[in-house]
Structure 1
């Protein structure tokens, strides 16, 4: 079993700049990159959920206050199909084809998915450079 060359996992409070730093590092490294990042969905100044966006441009709602899902983190219903159908394949494609695998973030919502957990472990064992973020404390 191969080990990741290096895994950089950032942690910090929400809004401290983890995603911004990950974007800048990925750009500055100038190597083939794949994976995904998450961002807040805000309406009227209020956070209503979280979007998952792949580095090749797919975006889905991963969690929402309006979701009927029984899988919940705080007030957000988690869409496991979005994670398994878009997030996991993005990690798998990056692990197979890219030099840098971006996983932003590895958090409670994403960890509802067994496939997500396996994709993260596979990326870490792949010998590829992995850049990601992990939750510091309970969030949201």
Structure 2
């Protein structure tokens, strides 16, 4: 079975990228494949905001990704520079830039593009969702 790395670049409410990537991840796992990492880049970092408040019938991205990560042990990583530009900050970034609080969901972590590069080298394939 294949080791698959996911790259999500689409924003949480203006694209289907996160929802499609999550469905793909669940289907791949059900088929016996493994998801090595999900990297959120560009507008995709908005998937990791703990402060998003979707309507009752909308996709709750950060919670859904967090549930998958907790059950399957999958790394959820947002790009540090893309997150900073879009106001999705971990505790360290909030402190560094003297912001009142961080808003990164607890299941996500912040890293640079080198982590994506390493994950792509280790996986059998990388699938991108825009």
Task: Choose between structure 1 and 2: higher strand proportion.
Answer: 1
Q: Fold conserved (TM > 0.5)?
A: no
Structure 1-normalised TM-score? 0.39
Structure 2-normalised TM-score? 0.42
